[in-house]
Amino acid sequence: REPIPTARNKKMMRFSLLLVLLFASNKGLGFQFSPIVLGHRSVVCRLSDGDDAETLRARAAALREEVAALQAEAEKERSNDIEPSKPKRIVSRPPPQRTPPQKKRNVVTSDVSWSDRALASLPYVLPLSDALPYGKYVFHEFPEVAITVAPFIPFIMLITAIPLGQLICFVALSVASRNPSFSRFSRFSFQQAILMDISLIFPQLLGTIFGITSIKFPTAVVEPASTTIFFFILLSSLYAIVSNFRGQLPNNVPLFSETADRTMGPF
């Protein structure tokens, strides 16, 4: 099986053929050749006995020029094969810019009526009434703290005087928070007060279980835990009530505001 001629072999064959023609022209042989295609050019060589020396020299010069052109072309191709390709320039992407998280601002609504502001503040009496037992250590050490709770005492007494009053208030707030007849401003506080009251179920449940099993925790653990629960509910309720009376949505309460807003949806 004959090998397939490569580009370099073809160049060498053409070059050898040109040398043969050149040799024939110098010897003055009486041969007649058909047109020879060299690359993209055609060189016609016709030799006869009647040609003079000047004609033969001219044809030989043309052949030499053609050989030189072929050699230059072959040399150029050889240099292109040897020369390594230049590496592509790697353009690094700029690092993504991260925008710092924006602090949620209170939404000021100047068109909120005073009735809606008062109605949105009342639900926070429910978590305050459930958080009062956890403040017994605070009231014992600092009686002046009771002044902050004094305005809510009549409402707390009313809720506790009614049988199952806390449960009735809880169900009423749950229904009202989904009632579109109330403004969104009021319904947000309804939902947030419900979530705050639900969070107090877990410590109450733990206290009931430990009371039944007669397991007693040391005072060094119970006192700071109870004080933390009381102050968290008290400060969150005071913040929400003050924001409501200022016409601002109290949406910066940790753990509860985002959940309340997500539960209500866009309406």
pLDDT digits (tens, 9 = 90+) for 17-31: 666 666 655 555 444
Longest alpha-carbon distance in the chain: 142
Is residue 110's pLDDT more than 80?
A: no
**Average pLDDT estimate for 228-241:** 94
**pLDDT at residue 13 in the model:** 67
Cα angle, residue 182 at apex, residues 176 and 188 outer, rounded to 5°:
70
**pLDDT at residue 146 in the model:** 86
**pLDDT at residue 39 in the model:** 45
Helix or strand run (H / E) with residue 42: strand 41-43
Is residue 235's pLDDT more than 70?
A: yes
d(CA 57, CA 74): 25
**pLDDT at residue 187 in the model:** 93
CA-to-CA separations, 51 to 25, 54, 56, 163, 206, in angstroms, rounded? 10, 8, 7, 137, 125
pLDDT digits (tens, 9 = 90+) for 144-171: 888 888 888 888 888 888 888 888 999 9
- The residue ranges of every structural domain in the chain are 7-79, 114-264
- Please say whether the beta carbons of 244 and 250 come within 8 A: yes
- Please say whether the beta carbons of 229 and 131 come within 8 A: yes
pLDDT digits (tens, 9 = 90+) for 37-59: 444 444 455 555 555 667 777 77
Is residue 266's pLDDT more than 90?
A: no
pLDDT digits (tens, 9 = 90+) for 68-93: 888 788 787 777 666 555 666 676 66
